[in-house]
Homo-oligomer: A and B are copies of this chain.
Amino acid sequence: MFSKNQASYIRSLHQKKYRQQHSSFLVEGAKSVQEVLQSDFAIELVVATEVFYKENANLTDRQRTPVEIVSAADLTRIGTLDSNNAALAVVKTKENCPLVANPGEIALILDDVRDPGNLGTILRIADWYGVRKILCSDTTADVYNPKVISASKGSFTRVQWWYGDVAGFLREAAGVPGGKMPVYGAFLGGADAHTLPFAPGGYLVMGNESNGIGPEVAPFVTQRVTIPRYGDAESLNVGIATAVLLDNWRRNT
């Protein structure tokens, strides 16, 4: 029996403060819940409509996941989506483990990317381009924000992230003997992404929506790179720019 306490616990997870306190976050909608049930995330609880439960019992039963059956109206009421007639999962957050790009591997660094929709889109793009590691400044949007999870379209299950002092990370990474990896950074006025010979692996730094890469991180960028412009728009959205740069990197290596 789904209780008022469970409902208010789930609603509390709309807020970062309670996600951190409980080390739990929400995954909403049929496809995302199906994907998280097949991932290595630990599932605390699934709240589902009867239809969704019957069609997906193989996924919840295999993991012995506790399931509560509710109406679509109740599901919508406790979640963040405009409507949800399928399911919602309460999932345990992962530990914040350090990430380093291996030789020949591409990793992303996000310096103060604030918009949850942009971060979710970037997870999906990283997943498309086979980028598995994303290092985020502490000021970057919370990856466990329901808007990020939703915009990532399930890609949050296939990408790892770390939050911390990215300038400090780059300072240490740059100083490791034999461990120097190129650090590309998206700037206006950098090298032409169409002709730049990208290294096989390294880091790509993307900056804040309004201000780009900040002054603490900029000194560690070893190669500034720019998407050539053929028209008059002042800039491209950070998600768009991430996709175009990764596309240029992948085709050139």
Contact = CB atoms under 8 A, between A and B. Distances in A.
Given A121-B240, A239-B240, A129 B247 contact: no
A236 interface: yes
Nearest to A237: B121
Interface stretch (A96-104, A160-168, A224-232): A224-232
A62 interface: no
Contacts of A121: 237, 240
Given A228-B250, A250-B228, A251-B194, A124 B243 contact: no
Given A231-B158, A243-B244, A250-B230, A237 B129 contact: no
Contacts of A125: 233, 236, 240
Contacts of A237: 121, 124, 239
Contacts of A239: 237, 240
Contact of A127 (B126, B127, B131, B231): B231
Contact of A234 (B153, B194, B243): B153
B194 A236 contact: no
A42 B247 CA distance: 40
A236 B126 CA distance: 10
Interface in A195-250: 227-237, 239-240, 243-244, 247-248, 250
| 6 shortest interchain CB distances as A-B pairs | A130-B230, A130-B231, A127-B233, A128-B233, A194-B251, A240-B243
14 contacts: A121-B237, A121-B240, A128-B227, A128-B229, A128-B230, A128-B232, A128-B233, A128-B236, A155-B232, A227-B247, A228-B250, A228-B251, A237-B239, A239-B240
Interface of A: 121, 124-132, 153-155, 158, 194, 227-237, 239-240, 243-244, 247-248, 250-251
